[in-house]
Chains A and B, each alone.
Chain A
Amino acid sequence: MASRYDRAITVFSPDGHLFQVEYAQEAVKKGSTAVGIRGTDIVVLGVEKKSVAKLQDERTVRKICALDDHVCMAFAGLTADARVVINRARVECQSHKLTVEDPVTVEYITRFIATLKQKYTQSNGRRPFGISALIVGFDDDGIPRLYQTDPSGTYHAWKANAIGRSAKTVREFLEKNYTEDAIANDNEAIKLAIRALLEVVQSGGKNIELAIIRRNQPLKMFSAKEIELQVNEIEKEKEEAEKKKSKKTA
């Protein structure tokens, strides 16, 4: 049945599916995992770094991009589609600042991106954007925000979420481990993001990229060394927890 209703985006199938939109969601799953965590005074974005070819300049393969000084996003899916969406969002951020003399709120820019994506699900001859995005930042009121958008053009606020390959596994990990204690301070929130990624990332900390935004501070990208330090701390904590467990059982 699907094959007759997936040729044009503007056609519903008899049971109400928009197959092109659902196929676009499959394209998102081909991108590597990205996780977003909303802490009390921090927002964290962690991504699984794709291995870069030998002759490729690593700086040009980025999954986390700043949209403005106080908002950044991570995406999963088609690289070229992400580039187009990010460029449009960046222009909109500046245009908004010039027009109303205020930086965009995280919700505004998320709604802009989601509206853009939805337009492409209802246009003749165009296919949807094959990306999901995690948008994080702080508004003027100092409240941290995390939003997720998907190819259908929906957007929702989340406390923590994951997109891309194995997103389900990471989301289940977050559902079990996102507690008030886990986000009690900034360092704990960062560790939670790394632990969530380590569930699905091959070869550990070397393949993780992390970015944080603290209240009233610009985006900070973690260096490989800083991530390694965090990973080592997490491994030590794991070992200690296991030792305690084995003592208890003994």
Chain B
Amino acid sequence: MAATFFGEVVKTPCRAGTEDEEEEEEGRRETPEDREVRRQLARKREVRLLRRQTKTSLDVSLLEKYPCSKFIIAIGNNAVAFLSSFVMSSGVWEEVGCAKLWNEWCRTTDTTHLSPAEAFCVFYHLKSNPSVLLCQCSCYVAEDQQFQWLEKVFGSCPKKSMQVTVLTCRHVTDYKTSEPTSSLRTPFLKALKTQSFRESPCCSLLEQPNIVHDLPAAVLGYCQVWKIPAVLYLCYTDVMKLDLITVEAFKPVLSSRSLKGLVKNIPQSTEILKKLMTTNEIQSNIYT
């Protein structure tokens, strides 16, 4: 027992750990209400993978239902805008599923016309070649949801015959280098690959001590463990919102094996991208 400055008497924790253990355990024991709250929270944070038209949950993982040889994942609005204008505009893509999730930072929307400004996670395959799968993910997947997302998308026993390409952005202030940041020419591309990825990436590799975060890191880690060839193209930019120059920084990736052949008309894609920018400009008067 100890007295505080204000005259209250409070119970101080005993560092020996032997006193009053039973009492403490009672306090720690979960009440039914706690369990119910925890259950409800887990249900709310569940990642659900839904089938396209019926909007029912998929019984198996996405890649079990739609096996593929190429899986391209865009995470973040700039990467999504890049795939939308350069890859998706050059072919006919069919939606095969979507992931619905909720966390404190985002709630995936239900609208049919998805703009890069909204939060969503949709999967497509190329109609003319269904072994090419694409994921547009512009919602934040929290740490506790990443494993669920991987399980529901990749499954517990993924095929090693596919190649995974991940595109994402990060703010340049996260980039650790001995050069002064003012001398860096942003935006710039860096690559990180798994051991089984044999091709040479389209840009220089990410140097130590830089690390990758969030869903892209989870995907790469998963691919490394399961020996799936995967490469992450990370664009360091000083503009995290939807920006033409940041999106165009991904262009070198078009020469990679996974994206070659998927892009037909680059000038037309650039026009589509410009239109996407103008329709999605968020009006903010803070900066001029």
CA distance A77 to B245 in the complex (A): 19
Q: How far is the CB of B283 from chain A (nearest CB, A)?
A: 5
CA distance A75 to B288 in the complex (A): 8
The interface residues of chain A lying within 8 Å CB-to-CB of B281 are 51
> Could you give, for residues 220-245 of chain B, a 1 whenever the CB lies within 8 Å of some chain A CB and a 0 otherwise?
00000000000000000011000111
| Contact in complex: B285, A202 (CB < 8 Å) | no
The interface residues of chain B lying within 8 Å CB-to-CB of A78 are 286-288
Q: How far is the CB of A240 from chain B (nearest CB, A)?
A: 20
CA distance A169 to B286 in the complex (A): 24
Which residue of chain B is the closest to A28 with respect to CB atoms?
A: B287
Residues of B239-288 contacting chain A, CB below 8 A: 239, 243-245, 274, 277-278, 281, 283, 285-288
Residues of A26-72 contacting chain B, CB below 8 A: 26-27, 29-32, 50-51, 53, 56, 61, 63
| Contact in complex: A30, B287 (CB < 8 Å) | yes
| Contact in complex: A31, B278 (CB < 8 Å) | no
The interface residues of chain B lying within 8 Å CB-to-CB of A79 are 285-288
Query: Which of A75, A168, A202 lies in contact with B186, CB distance below 8 A?
Result: A168
Q: How far is the CB of B282 from chain A (nearest CB, A)?
A: 10
| Contact in complex: B287, A77 (CB < 8 Å) | yes
| Contact in complex: B278, A165 (CB < 8 Å) | no
Q: How far is the CB of B121 from chain A (nearest CB, A)?
A: 27
**Would you call the interface of chain A mostly helix, strand, loop, or mixed?**
loop
Given contacts A51-B278, A202-B244, A203-B274, contact A26 B287 (CB under 8 A): no
Which residue of chain B is the closest to A200 with respect to CB atoms?
A: B245
Interface size grouping (class) on chain B:
10 to 19
CA distance A29 to B172 in the complex (A): 12
- The answer, yes or no, to whether A134 is at the interface (CB within 8 Å) is no
CA distance A26 to B182 in the complex (A): 10
Given contacts A51-B278, A51-B281, contact A32 B288 (CB under 8 A): yes
CA distance A77 to B287 in the complex (A): 5
| Contact in complex: A27, B288 (CB < 8 Å) | no
| Contact in complex: B185, A168 (CB < 8 Å) | yes
| Contact in complex: B238, A29 (CB < 8 Å) | yes
CA distance A51 to B182 in the complex (A): 27
Given contacts A26-B238, A78-B287, A79-B285, contact A202 B185 (CB under 8 A): no
Which residue of chain A is the closest to B277 with respect to CB atoms?
A: A202
- The answer, yes or no, to whether B173 is at the interface (CB within 8 Å) is yes
Q: How far is the CB of A95 from chain B (nearest CB, A)?
A: 26
Which residue of chain B is the closest to A50 with respect to CB atoms?
A: B288
CA distance A27 to B288 in the complex (A): 10
Given contacts A53-B283, A166-B245, A168-B186, contact A76 B288 (CB under 8 A): yes
Extra contacts, 6 of them, besides A29-B239, A80-B286, A203-B278 (Cβ < 8 A), are: A26-B173, A31-B287, A51-B278, A51-B281, A79-B288, A200-B245
Chain A residues within 8 Å of B, Cβ to Cβ:
25-27, 29-32, 50-51, 53, 56, 61, 63, 75-80, 82, 165-166, 168-169, 200, 202-203
Could you write out 21 A-B pairs with CB less than 8 Å apart? Answer: A29-B238, A29-B239, A31-B287, A51-B283, A53-B283, A56-B283, A61-B288, A63-B288, A75-B288, A77-B288, A79-B285, A79-B286, A79-B288, A165-B243, A168-B185, A168-B186, A169-B245, A202-B244, A202-B274, A202-B278, A203-B274
List the 7 shortest-distance A-B pairs measured between CB atoms, nearest first.
A30-B287, A79-B288, A53-B283, A31-B287, A202-B244, A29-B238, A51-B281
